[in-house]
Chain A
């Protein structure tokens, strides 16, 4: 039996940085300007000089450091917590050695001549052409899109270009997705100019039926954007049939493999018939999530779509690595310079540490850990699992029963588990097709003891919900602050996004 240990979050009651100001204090002094360099008189054109200094705080160095360290201490990063609850995000360990390695390119300028960064280009080339090609079966990769959703947007832009060059864009203006695909698979094609058709799951299987897809495709279909395994953890086993149907209708198929953690070395995008896919390097490939970036997508395409990739593409000519901009059918730029290439370097180092066998092991252990977690959660009062069958990397569970029994829903549970030092669980993107959802993902970084501890906390909180629901609803009690007034967040008269607005509205 796992014992839940007492916990209390750091509670510094740290003031806002603007409240810590003391006129005249300095945090840092910029580089000196030597004698012999004329003063700044006349260098700012008439009327363009700043009249009043910016309202920035004035603090000495220790006082600045202390403020930010205190804020960091009131942040439950993955390094300190058992971050199983934040599913769909693959909160895996980001090895510290990779931070050291990434720091070695900190002072590289992206426009340095190619001959001064052959090593960096080789790393990115090898990662794409040795590792990712083999893992996905795709022919060419780009790291230009600077995040997962940016990868989905990139793929929508490629689809746009593809149909435009074939003269079919005015006709093919519809993208098909599924409701359990990540919202970016709907929002990014929409931003790129497409109309969206969304398929809903079959009540039994949890995935949309082949018939639903057949009914949705037409000569208006530009393509599909689908996540697989979906956010429910269910793998759509008809996926190769889907790609065939879409291809026959004249569309392209884009695979959202942002979270491919349980399928590396197991099943491949290309073998399911996809034309393009993307991985999130900050999820599957071990680069840290950075409080929400910088991350990177790795977009892979078949050789038929290679010509559309954004510029530049890193290519190898003989023993030299080059940035290729001369690509007439390219979609052009989706990000300035070379993308988030420090993220690529970290992911290369992660993949190199794993090797082929290690990647497969990471996938297997993620999947097995999820079976184990599933077994541990099944049978806990108040938790149900919509749709049948095993799940790959995660499960979308429901606390609807708990809410019905006690009035305590997933938001309340989420505010209470933090009292035990466990991160808020990811619920679900909207709409909540599964009511009162939560989506844990016990990836390969977690031990059996970690999973047991996480389950023990959840079980404890559910027990509390049955015995003392009011206490759970008024949580948190051991956190850095108490329950917030969320009505302010949607009220233009009261919301405040800056110190200036806060003083005007609330002080």
Chain B
């Protein structure tokens, strides 16, 4: 290097030369040739843009690239569908930016006691919210959490079919499908979609009963689902599943659980869901993180792929420490014989979610749930006032398909018109769910003001006129 790079202390030419001298070599090339066969060494230098070692210039370069973009802060957004704009308390940002948490990784339970306690408290607060007693460190997203959950159910029951709602997000279904293995290989798990009632959006229990045979490992439902629907008949579905020996797996958007019943109330055996609403910025989808929770039974812990933290006493009376529970089942220990795999997931998002839940408390969670319900239902009522617009169903939380069919316009056209006014309309689901016609999955949360909703109403009226 011509000049020392600020990220590399030994790029100072004299320092590098002294290091080489100390290890008895003339050059790095000489050392590489002792370790890598010559035929595999690059014969030329990397053909890449020159580095930008000045922090100021680097920042200017990246910000220049980003300057064309806009976001949900600068625009008014009604996008949801698995990644949602929610209120993020400042204390969440403050904690998540702490270098200690940001740059920790695989340290031990003494040097990283705080990280272990934070991870344990994450598990505990999630359990408090969903009504379970065991959780683990976060997984990648709701889809992977659901994928791991149904694989657990398959191992628990020795069965190889899983029933899922046809109203599930196609992307999430795709993730679960890859977990379950959509081929004919021995050991693959078949995913079967259960129809939904077009009037209510809820699962069609007749279709469920028809498909719920003795080879079904799990019935999976979501509450609220991708299309915003609150599934009211959890208890009935749980009974149907349990009567055939299947596990009942429920995926949740946890921000609903201050007002909606926890899945444990209606018979869930395994609960999974998405962490992003709990204080994590959307990050263009990078804010996603999943979780899994179960009852405190050995058989569930034994099948979990996750790192799970237990509290434990120390040699000092009254003092508490933490450690990995039943670690032998993880892929770090058992390689291909492990319960699936564990790796680097989204633990920092888990810490954020724990900070969020400890700030919100039981009252905050109830209030935010009520605010979302009230504002989203107010929005649905306002939109229905516009001629030709309709809302698919009544029983929803936070989002709903807004049907444009009677206006003769496509979602694509209307969203293009809205974008010109600085508004991101709801997600176009006319390809994902053609049976719902021209529909926009429209999301309203606690961050939307009455004025925002009224503004969209007015712009919609103009766009479909």
Contact = CB atoms under 8 A, between A and B. Distances in A.
A186 B336 contact: yes
Given A113-B415, A495-B325, A33 B265 contact: no
B109 interface: yes
Contacts of B351: 68, 291
A46 B232 contact: yes
A340 B319 CA distance: 38
B1 A358 contact: yes
A187 B321 contact: no
A341 B285 contact: yes
Interface in A19-54: 25-34, 36-40, 43-51, 53-54
A237 B137 CA distance: 38
Contacts of B31: 367-368, 371, 390
Contact of B42 (A267, A354, A450): A267
Given A352-B61, A353-B55, 13 more contacts: A28-B91, A43-B373, A77-B99, A81-B111, A123-B62, A173-B185, A190-B337, A336-B83, A353-B5, A353-B58, A359-B46, A360-B45, A498-B132
B383 interface: no
Chain A: interface secondary structure?
A: loop
A302 B217 CA distance: 38
B69 A120 contact: yes
B332 A365 contact: no
Given A29-B367, A57-B361, A50 B347 contact: no
Contacts of A64: 91, 355, 358-359
B27 to A, nearest CB: 9
A409 interface: no
Contact of B25 (A160, A239, A268, A371): A371
Contacts of B129: 54, 56
Contacts of A294: 286, 289, 345-346, 348-349
Contact of B107 (A54, A76, A112, A282): A76
A451 to B, nearest CB: 9
Interface stretch (B208-216, B242-250, B276-284, B402-410): B276-284
Given A54-B262, A119-B67, A160-B181, A130 B123 contact: no
A174 to B, nearest CB: 11
Contacts of B328: 490
B11 A484 contact: no
The 8 closest A-B pairs by CB, nearest first: A355-B51, A149-B343, A337-B285, A333-B174, A424-B108, A110-B285, A74-B114, A79-B99
Q: In the complex, which of the residues A13, A36, A280, A364 has the most CB atoms of chain B within 10 Å of its own CB atom? A: A364
Contact of B105 (A86, A101, A360): A86
A146 B346 contact: yes
Contacts of A293: 138, 140, 344-349
Counting contact residues on chain B (CB < 8 A from A), the size range is 35 or more
Nearest to B59: A97
Contacts of A305: none
Given A153-B341, A294-B286, A106 B108 contact: no
Contacts of A191: 151, 179, 340-341
B9 interface: yes
Contacts of B365: 53-54, 56
A461 to B, nearest CB: 14
Interface in A208-237: 235, 237
Interface string A104-148: 111111111101111110110000001100110000000000111
A334 B382 CA distance: 38
Nearest to B10: A365
Nearest to B94: A65
Nearest to B357: A56
A183 B114 contact: no
A438 interface: no
Interface stretch (B191-199, B307-315, B457-465): B307-315
A481 B314 contact: yes
A392 B118 CA distance: 35
A5 interface: no
B442 interface: no
Given A291-B351, A294-B349, A117 B69 contact: yes
A134 B44 CA distance: 11
Contacts of B347: 290-293
Contacts of B172: 333, 336
Given A292-B106, A294-B289, A372-B22, A149 B69 contact: no
Nearest to A151: B343
Contact of A282 (B73, B344, B375, B449): B344
Contact of A45 (B16, B230, B360, B424): B230
Contacts of B115: 71, 75, 291
Interface string A81-95: 100001001011111
B50 A355 contact: yes
A356 B324 contact: no
B286 A338 contact: yes
A459 interface: no
A340 B344 CA distance: 12
B331 A184 contact: yes
Contacts of B309: 497
Interface in A398-451: 414-415, 418, 422-424, 426, 429-430, 444-448, 450
B343 A184 contact: yes
A448 B112 contact: no
Interface in B104-162: 104-115, 117-121, 123-125, 127-129, 131-138, 140-144, 151
A329 interface: no
A389 interface: yes
Contacts of B51: 352-358
B8 A445 contact: yes
Q: In the complex, which of the residues A29, A77, A268 has the most CB atoms of chain B within 10 Å of its own CB atom? A: A77
A80 B46 contact: no
Interface string B1-32: 10001011111000110111011010010011
Interface string B275-312: 00000011111101100000010100100000011111
B368 interface: yes
Interface in B314-344: 314-316, 319-328, 331-338, 340-344
A10 B117 CA distance: 14
22 contacts: A45-B230, A57-B361, A61-B91, A71-B115, A111-B81, A116-B69, A119-B69, A289-B104, A294-B349, A352-B49, A354-B5, A357-B50, A361-B8, A369-B19, A415-B108, A422-B111, A479-B113, A484-B313, A497-B325, A498-B127, A499-B128, A500-B133
Interface in B161-198: 169, 171-172, 174-175, 177-179, 181, 183-188
